[in-house]
Homo-oligomer: A and B are copies of this chain.
Amino acid sequence: MSGLAREDYLADIYRLQCERPKDPVSTGSVADRRGVTAASATAMFKRLARDHLIVYRNYGGVTLTPEGEDLALGVVRRHRLVERFLADVLHIPWQQVDAYADQMEHALPDEVVDRMEALLENPYTCPHGYPIPDKHGHLAQPHLVLLRDLPLGETVRVARVNERVPGLLPYIEELGLMPGSLLRLTGRNPIDLNVTIEAGGQEHILGLRVSEALWVEPTEAKG
């Protein structure tokens, strides 16, 4: 049936597109993410473009077509639902579910995915806080702020942790900052860009690599 690697490429292009929706996704960034050479990515781009799944301009990066985005959303949906499933039903540590889901996401029949979704009672997000597209590719776009950009003083809820930052997940867990936790930004160092937060009665200093991998959402009080 459908190519295996193609889907991975499409999903990665989608995720990279999300990060900077303005401009097209570069060959290099996809190659890096996939762990292949730029030449391999170029070759795949040609196949995907031939099949109208991406728009590819020489030396100009790629963009998903609507068709390609549909496919990508399907993969993302499977990926995030499986993560939820692995974490909630099989009790696999949340630091590992991303890698496992990568392995599993292509082999799951739609019916299996749908049943998992029902069993989990239609979860909104994966264990790291990323939204799960529904069966038709729609997905909630909540209003989130990077911890890096948060104003001082506000108390917020951790909403999303970038699972792709190496080593971040165990660190976040150690600090008790998993999605759902509350924190307050108490300080920001304008020189090194460290931030100080208070969470669970403790103070922590977080570097930029952390503060730009954590998304938070305002709690009810908006000011």
Mark each residue of chain A from 60 to 101: 1 if its CB lies under 8 Å from any CB of chain B, else 0: 000000000000000000000000001001111000100010
Copies of this protein chain in the complex: 2
Q: Which residue in B92, B100, B119 is a CB contact (below 8 Å) of A90?
A: B119
Which residues of the partner chain B approach A100 to less than 8 Å between Cβ atoms? 109, 111-112
We find that the number of chain A residues with CB closer than 8 angstroms to chain B is: 19
Given known pairs A90-B119, A119-B89, the reply for A107 and B106 (CB within 8 Å) is: yes
- A208 on the B face (CB < 8 A): no
Which residues of the partner chain B approach A39 to less than 8 Å between Cβ atoms? none
Q: Residues on A close to B: CB < 8 A?
A: 4, 86, 89-92, 96, 100, 103-104, 106-109, 111-112, 115-116, 119
Determine the residue in chain B with the shortest Cβ distance to A116. B90
Determine the residue in chain B with the shortest Cβ distance to A109. B100
Which residues of the partner chain B approach A112 to less than 8 Å between Cβ atoms? 86, 90, 92, 100, 104
Tell whether, in the assembled complex, residue A115 and residue B91 are in contact, meaning their CB atoms are under 8 Å apart. Answer: yes
Given known pairs A119-B89, A119-B90, the reply for A103 and B107 (CB within 8 Å) is: yes
Which residues of the partner chain B approach A107 to less than 8 Å between Cβ atoms? 103-104, 106-108
